[in-house]
Structure 1
Amino acid sequence: MSDYITLKPYMYDSYVPEGFKTAEGITSVPEEAISYDVSLTYQIIDNELFLHLAPNKKWLEDSNRVYPITIDPTIVRIQSSDDVEDPNIRRGFPTQTGGNDLEIGGGASSGNVIRSLLKFDLSAIPVNASIESSSLNLWFFIY
């Protein structure tokens, strides 16, 4: 089973106060519309992870609530380094690749351009999954 990180879930309704500014492509939620009163529990059954979300009933039934509502449980799958391949290729050695030691880099030395490649095992993502967002952080250190 994979490892996951879950952030505290929250929910928000569709209330938008007068004068509230939004931007195309960015989800902006006014403070008045947010509630963090959502519990999250989980079970593992037959090596499958099941999340159980329980939003606060009073918040849902409040007469000021503006529907539809959104419940956002942020879940991040941690991919082990065994699921990532990162060879490098060199112009000066076109039939060889560098090791798979989780080091990436680039540069040039005497015309020998070095480029790093990354390949991720995405087989755990269902074929019909809709990916809302993704991010990758890389750092470059010079020793």
Structure 2
Amino acid sequence: MRQLLHFALWIGLVAVFAAPLAATDPIALQLQLQQPEPPIVTRVAEPQVTPAPLVVQSPGTVEIEIKIKPTADTEELRITAESGNHYRSSTIWLTGAESQKVHTFEWHGFPAGEYEVVGELIASSGRREVVVRGALRVVE
């Protein structure tokens, strides 16, 4: 069964983690992000609330849709899922503010485990502009 995991990465705004669960009951949780400091110093936006995990059956297929609001400095979109025994990562190189706003990743064959899912927008300097975290649980 295909499960959807949605992240919206907006600089200084709200990140949304939403996922239809196995029984088609939607769950939508919001992560409030801190406003970055102006020009020179920008903090990584950390969520104040951790969402409930999306639960899928092994071997899981997860589709991750990420909506972003890139800046002129934005160079990279990275999404990772990591458990103690398994790591999955995808990176898309961006072209600054003109970059595509919606990106979709589809990952297949997740083994059972607890995963931390992280979406990051990274500037050309290597500085993380936005970090959004979610959870994924794959069960036997």
Decide which structure has greater helix share. 1
* TM-score normalised per structure 2: 0.30
The structure that has the greater radius of gyration is 1
